[in-house]
Structure 1
Amino acid sequence: MNSPSDGHAVRQPTLPAATLAALGIVFGDIGTSPLYAFRECFAPHGIDPTPMTATNLVGAASLIVWALILVVSIKYVLIILKLDNRGEGGILALSALIRSAARRLGGKDRKSVLLLGLAGSSLIYADGMITPSISVLSAVEGLSVSAPLLAHYVVPLAVGILIAMFAIQRHGTGKVGILFGPIVLTWFVTLGVLGLRGIIQHPEVLGALSPAAGIMFLVHEWHHAFPLLAAVFLAVTGGEALYADLGHFGTRPIRFGWFCVVFPGLVLNYLGQAALLSYEPEAIRAPFFLLAPEYFRLPLTILATAAAAIASQALISGAFSLTTQAVQLGCLPRVRIRYTSEHSIGQVYVPAVNRFLLLACIVLVITFKSSTALAGAYGIAIILTMTITSFLFYSAARAAWGWSILKAGLVTSLFLLVELPFLAANSLKILHGGWLPLIVAGTAMGLMMTWLWGRARLYARLSRESLPIDALLADLKKGHIHRVSGTAVYMSGRGDTVPTALLHNLKHNQVLHERVVLLHVQTLDQPHAGPAESLGHTDLGEGVHRVNLSFGFADTPDVPEALKARLPEVVKFHPGKATYVLGRETYGVGKNASALDRVRLALFAVMARNASPATAYFRLPPGRVVELGAQITL
């Protein structure tokens, strides 16, 4: 187990190095939008496409530029990123921050905040399935254009790329980011250079920097408003990923990368595409690639393929972060989580989520077979998440920052003024594939709600039968309980009640070890637990000891070795001789339970059975572990 006493100081990455890694993880999704966003503004939606006049081209570019400014730069980068929950970002961290800060909120309000957070996180899970599928499919389809012989191998090649992409996730987002970072940096520099090339040939497009051009465009083309806004929104997909991936790199690298590299490259490229189409309208078939000189188009296709494949990384790492937060908040059962960085608690790898997303992406690719078929499902999940974040921002600004109702309401209203039209436009996609992320998100939220419901019922049931520790100590003092030699360790919560496993041991075996350790384990928000905070020990008397064991997030939670090294001699703890007693409950259904409760209980039981076992997680010696089963009626 690593610790500061090893003599090796944890070296923090420099801002340029962290920014380079962030480029490879955080900005891939939003960075590939120039491949299709501007083109879709003038694609034939129905029988009446938007006229591609010089004024309309400038207007469309203006809408995209100001969407990037208002939604990404101002809302997320400058404001929302400040709302971190001990370094973690994302919609679930935001809801947790609100609930912990707003002590004055009533139970109903606190529950609604949690529900919004769960809904938003569920939508990100859905988007985490669709984004990799679309990104990889579009990448492989781009290669098949330059190499038609590969056209029949699009699906197998896409599946192969997905397998390779998910296989490297176990190395950690920091290392993956360093691998992807130079590619994405090259991509954004190329975006800017190509866009500048088009602007020089037609500088009139700089008028798009004025918001008036975009407003007048919407007014003039009001009958195309919904398709236009749905296409414009494609330029800001990936904005929520900036917040979800906050814990991986922190605020400074994300802000530095956005304002110095990403935002300038995107704006220049969108303006360049508008400039190209103003004097070469037939380039609408592929305005991004036709910005480049002919000799550079094949290398650009290869670079775009790599960038599009990397684009899915932001959603994958965001799903890892959300899962970790959900487990910590008790919204999901315990799963195996690997911390892959010595300096950032947010850099995590969740094998179960990685496998699930890989399987889901492969199924989507094989089923839909093309990025066009999946296009209808893209966008609705992201705009719903952004809108939920705006609603949560109001409560966060009031609770965490102490803003007045007027100030918080005004800023939230400005967010919604921009996002609600995007939501209305994307709602038209529901019948054309948008139902898919909604069903996936609904399923994910149903699982989380079932776990919360089951845990609440379980806690209430156990609380009714719990025994205060003082009562146990009194019985021990009277000699009513037979004692046997040795040490037993019982996993315990923070409360003052006897662990259920200990009660079941007394009920069935009617004996207790001469030394009993009631152990509570917690993970700190720092890489390593220092000597003063790693162990809390209280001798309760009668051979019973309460122990709080703390690990840093970069430490290995090896409970036996930690207890051996840190417990005082009076406990006489020997890892190879101690008995570790764990509870394993099975759940029954009460006679008065409704049909819905029976279904939810069955699902809760399945989730509980498949949770990561404490034996492996805490490095307990299997030969010294005793599990006491109990039937609990809920």
Structure 2
Amino acid sequence: MTDSDGAGAADTPGFPDERDGEIDAHGHRRQGFWKLAVGAVGVVFGDIGTSPLYAFRETFDGHHKLTLDTAHILGVISLMFWSMMIVVTLKYVTIIMRADNKGEGGSLALLALISGRTQEQRWTRGIVMLGVFATALFYGDSMITPAVSVLGAVEGLAVAAPAFGGLVVPIAVAIMIFLFSIQRSGTARVGTFFGPIMLVYFFTIAALGVMSFIQTPQVLWALNPWHAFNFFAIDPLAAFLALGSVVLAVTGAEALYADMGHFGRRPIGVSWLWFVLPALMANYMGQGALLIREGVVALESPFYMLAPEGFQLPLVFIATAAAIIASQAVISGAFSVTQQAIQLGFMPRLRIEHTSAAAAGQIYIPLINWLLMVMVILLVLTFQTSSNLTAAYGIAVTGAMFIDSCLLGVVLFGLWKWKWWQAAPLLAVFFIVDGAYFAANLTKVPDGGWFPLLVGFVIFAFLTTWAKGRKLMIERLREAAMPIKIFITSAANSATRVSGTAVFMTSTPEGVPHALLHNLKHNKVLHERVILLTVRILDVPFVPDSHRAELEDLGQGFHRMILCFGFMQDADVPMALKQVHSCGADFRMMETSFFLARQTLLAAERPGMMIWREKLFAWMLRNAESAMEFFRLPTNRVVELGSQVEI
């Protein structure tokens, strides 16, 4: 867990799972199973659902072109089907989604679960670094997904109405600006329409696929894995390179795990197995059947050419709506991941706005929103087509999937205590599949795959620098802290006591806060009630109100208080204090003063980090949101006092 300044770790106590029963941990009434299943179709499967727009086309007409014959077409469809079965159905839906952290999923939630249970292991640090890098790669993915999905959809204009082909990029940019501009208002209302729109989309692509493959039923033989093996037998190099595009059919699989906390494992699993998977495979087989019949003529856009000529333009609008939904899902995911990273101590405090009073998970982070918008627009203007962007797309997804397999290995052996003969064959399959996909995508690094890697390494540097810097700062403050018992004995009787409550925010629950020492030195007074307050973010998503506060009476009107929050919760300190009734009189905000220390970094003779990282950390510290705003403290009741720290 992390403290109020994002450093430190400790074992997580076992809190009751509030998801059992009528009210869930988000604080609102649980929805019906089928409503959750439809909602999952709208949010969770938007990314993987828009893959038919470009995945099949790119496999044959992308950076590594394939021979357009029946053997290769059946081989590609077979690879797509069995990739979905192994990667999505077996790995994510059946196994990884069982490794939840109090109902929440995603790389950081899984990382928090693992690190909380295996802190004594020597290899824990390496696992943490892998998890952080997977998070960094996610940001690259969240930039590319909106660009490639919307471009892939709008490019249908060139097929349905060739005269508008030159407007594809401007229209895509306009959609992006609109999409990011509405984020501030929240997605609650828009989200109501996500499920029905995606249902229409999946029904449409399934129907178009069925209409095509019933004309060429031989394509159904592609479900036989023999065709995938035959593809490698007749053309091994081409088959290996094709994996770089085939993996586009499973992009978005990690979203199933990340969004588990919002919809639950069973609704997501049912939606995938009984609706999304059949619809996707029907469309892919339909595209394959079309290519068998029409050949290279249909290769320009097999997705749109599945539709009758009069239906192509409406299909453009349906696909564009689906692409916008897929983009919305990944943008919301970026907000959620950022919030988790802040709470777990890998990122400085940022301004977070809640856009729904009913759903705690619906948040808006202005800095992340506008940075994403700028990067997405730059990607669209730079790469121009979805075909060019797909080279950059696969590397982030396959890298994250490979890291998830590593984390899964720790879960199977370290947490679930599987026998080696049970876990090893399963992990071997996952590592072979994920490793092959990642290796195939590395061949696309010169063509655009460098972008998500660059983004990943830059963000990884930011995340690890902040975590390391905060850890060093907390250690220095702890070393210089005066024991609280000595302070109370010497100061309580000599200083003038004034009425009211003073809350001194401190990152460590030991010693005397610097702000308290400075206040006594300059103002020479102490309040009647002094609270030494530490906010801790635990390695669980939610902490119930009954476990929020830990209190210790230090005597002479001094109290040590620790407020605990989950990493998915808003650290609202005034609200938490109002719920504390065992520390004397109830807290009244107009009679309470909050004292904060603002640290200024000084260069040490033996720095704990390299100079460039020290400067980066100092810059991040200066630009972090103030503790006053982050902890929702009343602005007219806050006093900030400066202190200097060497790291």
Gap change, CA 1:226 and 1:571, over 3 Å in 2: same
CA contact (8 A) 2:340 2:567 kept: no
Q: How far has the Cα of 1:125 moved from its partner?
A: 0.4
After superposition, the C-alpha distances for 1:412-437 in whole angstroms (9 at most, x for unaligned) are 11101112111111111101111111
- Shift of the alpha carbon at 1:172? 4.7
Match of 2:514 among 494, 500, 507: 500
Count, aligned residues = 622
SS at match of 1:576: helix
Tell me which of 291, 301, 305 is aligned to 2:320.
Answer: 305
Superposition pairs of residues 278-427 of structure 1, within 5 angstroms: 278-281=292-295, 282-339=297-354, 346-427=361-442
For the pair 1:78 / 2:94, whether they are aligned, the reply is: yes
In the alignment, residue 456 of structure 2 is paired with which amino acid?
A
Equivalent-residue separation in structure 2 for 1:249 and 1:345 (angstroms): 14
Residue 57 in 1 paired to residue 70 in 2?
no
Residue equivalent to 2:475: 460
Give per-residue Cα distances to partners, 1:480-534, cap 9 Å, x unaligned.
Answer: 444444321111346232223213323444442232112234578788954x445
1:33 is matched by which residue type in structure 2?
Answer: S
Q: Decide whether aligned partners of structure 1 residues 37 and 150 sit closer, same or farther in structure 2, where only a CA change above 3 A counts.
A: same
Within the candidate set 614, 621, 624, 2:627 is matched to 614
Q: Read off the aligned partner of 2:484 and give its amino acid letter.
A: I
> In 2, are the aligned partners of 1:336 and 1:351 still within 8 Å (CA)?
yes
Partners of 2:508 and 2:475 lie apart in 1 by 16
Residue 82 of structure 2 corresponds to residue 66 of structure 1: yes
Q: Secondary structure at the residue paired with 1:12?
A: coil
Q: For the structure 1 residues 264 and 343, does the alpha-carbon distance in structure 2 shift closer, same or farther, using more than 3 Å as the test?
A: farther
- Equivalences for 1:90-489 in 2 at 5 Å? 90-106=106-122, 109-172=123-186, 175-281=189-295, 282-339=297-354, 346-476=361-491, 479-489=493-503
Report the Cα distance in structure 2 between the residues aligned to 1:444 and 1:619, rounded to whole angstroms.
Answer: 27
Does the aligned pair in 2 maintain the 1:537–1:548 contact within 8 Å? yes
Worse-matched range after superposition: 432-441 or 293-302: 293-302
2:43 equivalent in structure 1: 25
For the 8 Å contact 1:38–1:232, the answer to whether it is kept is yes
Q: Structure 1 616/63 Cα, relative in aligned 2: closer, same or farther at 3 Å?
A: same
Q: Distance in 2 between matches of 1:176 and 1:251?
A: 23
CA RMSD across the alignment? 2.8
Tell me, yes or no, if the aligned pair for 2:541 and 2:569 is still in contact at 8 Å: no
1:153 to 1:39, Cα distance in 2 relative to 1, 3 A: closer
In 2, distance between residues paired with 1:287 and 1:558? 52
TM value normalised by structure 1:
0.91
Q: Which amino acid in 1 is paired with 2:352? A: I
In structure 2, do the counterparts of structure 1 residues 360 and 40 end up closer, same or farther at CA, with 3 Å as the change threshold? Answer: closer
Deviates more, 1:203-212 or 1:609-618: 609-618
Cα deviation, 1:187-211, whole Å, max 9, x if unaligned, reads 1111211111122112222211111
For 1:573 and 1:60, how far apart are their aligned partners in 2? 66
CA separation of 1:238 and 1:563: change in aligned 2, threshold 3 A? closer
Distance 2:570 2:479 in 1: 35
The 2-side partners of 1:573 and 1:150 are apart by: 64
User: 1:546 aligns to what SS in structure 2?
Assistant: strand
CA–CA distance in structure 1, aligned partners of residues 645 and 311 of structure 2: 68
- The equivalent of 1:16 in structure 2 is 34
Structure 1: give runs of 5+ residues left out of the alignment: none
Determine the structure 2 residue equivalent to 1:34: 52
Closer/same/farther in 2, CA of residues 553 and 93 from structure 1, 3 Å limit: closer
Note the C-alpha offset of 1:152.
Answer: 4.0
Please state whether the residue corresponding to 1:402 is helix, strand or coil.
Answer: coil
Q: Which stretch shifts more, 462-471 or 205-214?
A: 462-471
1:629 is matched with 642
Change in CA separation of 1:597 and 1:496 when aligned onto 2, cut-off 3 Å = same
Q: Residues 436 and 36 (structure 1 numbering): CA distance in 2 closer, same or farther, change over 3 Å?
A: same
Task: Tell me, in whole angstroms, the C-alpha distance in 2 between the residues paired with 1:429 and 1:388.
Answer: 19
Deviations 1:220-257 (A, max 9, x none): 12131233211211111111222222233221221121
Match of 2:614 in 1: 601
Q: Tell me by how many angstroms 1:140 deviates.
A: 2.6
Q: Percent identity over the alignment?
A: 46
Distance 1:540 1:422, change over 3 A: same
Aligned-partner Cα distance in 2 for 1:67–1:324:
32
Q: Provide structure 2 residue ranges, at least 5 long, that are not aligned to the other structure.
A: 1-21
